[in-house]
Structure 1
Amino acid sequence: MYGHEEILKVFRNIINQNKISNAYLFVGEEGLGKRFLAEYFAMMVNCKGNDKPCFKCTSCVKMLKKSHPDVFIIEPEGDSIKVETVRYINAEINIKPYESFKKVFIIDRADKMTPAAQNAFLKTLEEPPLYGLFILISPQIEALLPTVVSRCNVVRFKRERKEVIKEYLIGEKGVSEEEAEVLAHLADGNFGEADKLVDENYKKLRSNVLSEIEKIFEKKGFEVLNEYSFFEENKEQIEEVLKIFLSYLRDVLVFKTTKDLKFIKNVDYIDSIEKLESKLTFKRLNNIINRIEQFNSQLKSNVNYQLAVENLLLDILGGQ
């Protein structure tokens, strides 16, 4: 277990005092370990050993094998959790657990429940059986109905310290201490980002994007349109491309504002960041960042991809 000390302390107090509520809402950005901790808490609740979780009893072993008959993982189908899924939960919760203290429903991305699904879920939340335990997981609390939130104990997840992410990368991903130092800085307290950064495909993508940024700013006038080919090749990953692009440019902006390298995330590209910072005005950097964010929003509507990219490239070079 890496980090989450405060949350684990809360879990232990709940178990030791036998004050398990019927519903919890785990809130925090993606990649902070909410799903992992939800399953861990479910394991603690139903553990038959003294030290919970013991990882040895039949309940813990079944949890580790993802085969526990009294623990249900609910996930979105497509882009939503529909009312039919909630009706299934409502029916299933009325059947007593087969072998456990609690029958647990972990609803991942609960924010994807449709309004009809959330309303259908309310009655079960209001009057759950004593053996029922619901753990809702959401990146943001605002996406859920206030009536749903009010019936849950909210557990907020925060970014971890850089040292925790570094330990995780060394201990779980086999990364060298030197590389873990850099990647932990880039991950910025997020386990999901750390996982991504050690993926070879992502490392290659990031390197290509950062090289592409340098190419774009070396172009003159309409020459920049030749760089459309890069965006065409990476069309399926364009959201990730833009995230990397924005992370780098925000570093340039932060360095221009503070002249302090300790605030830089992309620490392995400091020389390039310093070089680009000297070429761009504060106003132009702001305009470029805003334009990329605008382009990202455009992609969610039915726009002509090539035309949108070409306009973006021209605006990046032409912005004052």
Structure 2
Amino acid sequence: MNPIEIAVKNAHRDERAARLLITICGIGAALVPFFIGGFLLLKGSDTFLIFGHSLGEFLLSGQWAPSDTAVGGGHVGAAMFLSGSLVTCGLALLISLPLSISTAIFMTEIASPRTRRLIQPAVELFTGIPSVVYGWIGLTVLIPFLRHFFIMPYGFSLLAAGCVLAVMIFPTITTMSADAMAAVPKTWREASYGLGATRWETISRIVIPAARGGIFTGVILGLARALGEALAVAMVIGQMKVFPTSLFLPASTLTTAIASDMGGAMEGGEYSAALWTMALLLFLLSFLFIFVIHRINRASQLKGRA
């Protein structure tokens, strides 16, 4: 075998090895969420299969008093935590969405290229800030501010948690929305201007509707981020195990309850099983968000082809 044939053979062998390695890594990475889901299903189903609680009790009941023993017999109503998570995420979205859309419009439709190059890295910088920094700023700056300007007994509240989460999801929604708006063909804008439309009419009737799929994707990714956040929320929400009756009072969420109680719950007990079930619920909600994103993207692609 001459040197050229040896080199070709070695190249083919290296290519097969690299392809095998990449395939294993890709399949392994794709299987990790399924393994996590299976593990959560195994641990979280103990609430129903071993301790005999119903799904309705878990989702709809407000009585939270699990027994920290393997015997069980307590109450595992997680409705207060679920409602706290939904209210907090909804409030964060209500605060962040107008600011994110406005910033995205300014970056893509109004700002000069030089200004855009300055603003975009500043927006993206938010994603690199650790959660504990957001929580610490909320604890030392936001809570005293809210206590000073509103009639609040503690300062720790759903409002504080919503404000912190709004800042945390702001870069996600802004970046996704700006990318979606920038992807709208320039000829569409020129055609709108040619028909006599103003800049705002072009933005509101051409650009935003065309970028709706990307904007919705950013919103859902932001909600997923907000739903899964634990540390920053735990530092400002007060962690009071009650239903969220007011934005100015403390409450608790699924993530804060898991983070604060899992370390002290007895392994194999009813309390631990209930916390695992809450983690499973969070996983299913995140999976639902991802499914909605794929549906939105598919609908946008079909609409674009039509």
Normalising TM by the smaller chain, what interval? Answer: under 0.3
Please state which structure has a larger fraction of its residues in strand: 1
Q: Please give the TM-score of this superposition, normalised by the length of structure 2.
A: 0.23
Structure with the greater relative contact order (CA < 8 A, sep ≥ 6): 1 or 2?
A: 2
Q: Please give the TM-score of this superposition, normalised by the length of structure 1.
A: 0.22
Please state which structure has a larger fraction of its residues in helix: 2
